[in-house]
Amino acid sequence: MKTTRRQFMAGSAAATAGMLLSQEATPDAASNGQRPNIVILFADDAGYGDLSCYGHPTIHTPNIDRMAHEGTRFTSFCVLPACTASRAALLTGRYPVRPGGVEGVIGPDSDQGLPAYEITMATALRNVGYRTMCVGKWHLGHARDEYLPTSHGFDEYFGLLYSNDMIPPWVQTERPLELYRDTEPIEHPVDQTTLTVRYTAEAVRFIHHNGDEPFFLYLPYTMPHLPLATADRFRGQSRAGLYGDVIEALDWSAGEIMKALREAGVADNTLVIWLSDNGPWINMPDRMVQPGPHGLNNERWHAGSPGPFRDAKGTTYEGGVRVPAIVWQPDVVPANRIIQEPANSMDLFTTVLRAAGAEVPDDRPIDGNDLGPLLRGEEDESPSQQYYYFRGPELQALRRGPWKLQLASGQPELFHLERDIGERFNVADDHPDIVAEWRVSMESFAEETETALPA
C-alpha cells in the first residue's frame, strides 16, 4: 500500500523517536579507528565549470585539483536547482517534496523549515558516536528552534541561517541577517568579507579538538552566492575578477581543511566530499544588480560557469543541476579516477551512513543509493540510473541512464545526455514510445509525492 506524505507525517513523530532509541541502543558497527570521519564542503552557486580541474582557464584551484587528482571526480552528478531544496536532499537522502516546506527557497520572513521528524545525516551519525558540526549557511528554517541545526543532529553551529542576499535592497525584509553560534546571534551587521576565513577557522578548530572521536563536519559555504565578498588577501588575485577571487578563497579554505586533517593525524581515515548546491546564478533577476550596504554590489558577470551545459540555477536543465563533485579517501577511493556514471546528492546520505556503520532509516522512503561499491571501484555501474528533476513542487523531468525527458517548456523534450550534453537537440518526435511511457512514470511519481507535472 502506498503511503502518502500526509499519512507519513501523521505518525512520524512516534516512528522517529522509536528509531532513534533503537539506534542509540545498538552497539557501534565498528571501532572508532575503523569508522571514517566525514567532511562535506558544499559551495553555494558554484558552477560546473568554475574549477580548474573542471576546465576553467583562469580560475586557479590547486587544492581542490589535488583532491580530484588523489581521489575521484564525477562528471554527471546532480543536485536540486535551488538552495533550500538542495540542502534538504543532501542531509535527508530524500526528494525535498516528501517532507514539504523545503522544496523551494526559504526566505527571511518564512515560517517554514525542515520538519522535526526528518532524520538528517548528522542525527544518524551522532547516534553512532560521531561529534557533529555545521559551519556556514544553513537555510533549512529559522523561525522555530526545532528548525535550527542544533535540533537536527549538530552538536555545534556557526554561520548564517539563510542566504547572504536576504537583506535590503535585494530582498525587502525587516529581519536582520545575523551570524549565529549555536542558537544565538553574535554579529549584526555581518562582515561578509570575513565569512570564508572565519568558517575555515571554525572548521579547523573542530577538527583539532575531536581527539579519537569520529566526527562529521558539514561546511556549506556562503560563497559564491551573491553578493560576492572576500577578504582583502584574496582580492585581485584571480584573472577571472572578483568571482575568481571568491572561488580561489574557497580553494584556500579546502587546502586549510585538508592540512588540518593531516596535522591532526586523521587524514588517512577521513572521507572528504566537495560539491556545489546548484548551478551558477547567471540568470539573476534585475533586483540583484544594484549596490548594497557595506560596499557590497553585484554585476551581471558576478556569476560562474555552467560549463558545457544548458541554462543555470533555478532550472532543471543540466546547467541548473549538474555540479562538480569530488570524493577523496586514501586507500578507499581510487586516485585520479573520473566517474561518468550518473549520481546525485541524495546518494551521499546513504553512502555516508553505510560507510559509518549507521542505520539507513527504513520507516520512510529514502531516495538515495549507496555509491560505496562504485566509489571503491568494485562496480562500474551507478545504482542511480533514474533521477526525477523537481523545481519547487513541480516535477519537470526524468532521467534514466543517458536519456532525459524534460517537460519544463510545456512541450516534451527528449535528450540523450551523453551525445548531446548541451540539451540542444530534441528527439522526442523520434521516440514517441519513450515519451509516452516516461510521462506515465512521472505522473505516477507525482501522485506518490503529491506534486504535479508542468501544465
What the chain holds in terms of domains, given with CATH numbers, is 5-384 (3.40.720.10), 393-448 (no CATH)
Q: Can you say how many angstroms the Cα of residue 219 is from the centroid of all Cα atoms in its chain? A: 10
The confidence band for 2, taking pLDDT boundaries of 50, 70 and 90, is very low
What is the rounded average pLDDT for all residues in the chain?
93
Model confidence pLDDT, tens digit, residues 150-207: 999 999 999 999 999 999 999 999 999 999 999 999 999 999 999 999 999 999 999 9
Residue 114 DSSP one-character state: -
Which of 78, 83, 134, 225 is catalytic? The answer is: 83
Query: What is residue 9's predicted lDDT score, i.e. its pLDDT?
Result: 45
Task: Provide the pLDDT for residue 8.
Answer: 42
Which alpha helices (H) appear in 25-146, and where do they start and end?
62-70, 83-92, 121-126
Looking only at the bridges linking them, the beta strands covering 156-160 and 179-181 are antiparallel
> Which residue of the set 56, 60, 139, 225 is catalytic?
139
With 0.85 as the threshold, say if the pTM is over it: yes
The predicted structure's pLDDT at residue 41: 99
- For the question of residue 83 being annotated catalytic, the response is yes
pLDDT at 386: 98
State how far the Cα of 26 lies from the Cα of 415, in Å rounded to an integer. Answer: 47
For residues 24 and 39, the model is more confident at 39
Instruction: Read off the pLDDT band of 211 (50, 70, 90).
Output: confident
Tens digits of residue pLDDT in 392-428: 999 999 999 999 999 999 899 999 999 999 999 999 9
Q: What is the DSSP letter of 113?
A: B
Binned at pLDDT 50, 70 and 90, residue 297 comes out as confident
Residue type, 173: T
What's the CA gap between 213 and 233, in Å, rounded?
Answer: 34
**Residues ≥6 apart with Cβ < 8 Å to 201:** none
Query: What are the start-end ranges of the E strands in 128-196?
Result: 131-135, 156-160, 179-181, 184-187
For the stretch 240-277, pLDDT in tens is 999 999 999 999 999 999 999 999 999 999 999 999 99
pLDDT grade, residue 100 (50/70/90)?
Answer: confident
CA-nearest of 374, 351, 336 to 71 is 336
Q: How far apart are CA 424 and CA 416, in angstroms?
A: 10
pLDDT at residue 33, rounded to an integer: 52
Query: 314: which residues sit within 8 A by CB, 6+ positions away?
Result: 81, 82, 278, 281, 283, 320, 391
Mean pLDDT, range 314-332, rounded to an integer: 98
Kindly report, residue by residue over 101-146, the tens digit of the pLDDT.
999 999 999 999 999 999 999 999 999 999 999 999 999 999 999 9
Q: Pairing between strand 394-400 and 403-406?
A: antiparallel
Is 139 designated active site?
yes
Q: What is the DSSP letter of 149?
A: G
What is the Cα–Cα distance from 207 to 205, expressed in whole angstroms?
5
- Own/partner contacts of 227-234, CB < 8 Å, gap of 24 or more, are 227/164, 227/165, 227/170, 227/192, 227/292, 227/296, 227/297, 227/298, 227/302, 228/296, 228/298, 228/302, 229/164, 229/192, 229/193, 229/195, 229/296, 230/193, 230/196, 231/193, 231/194, 231/196, 231/197, 232/193
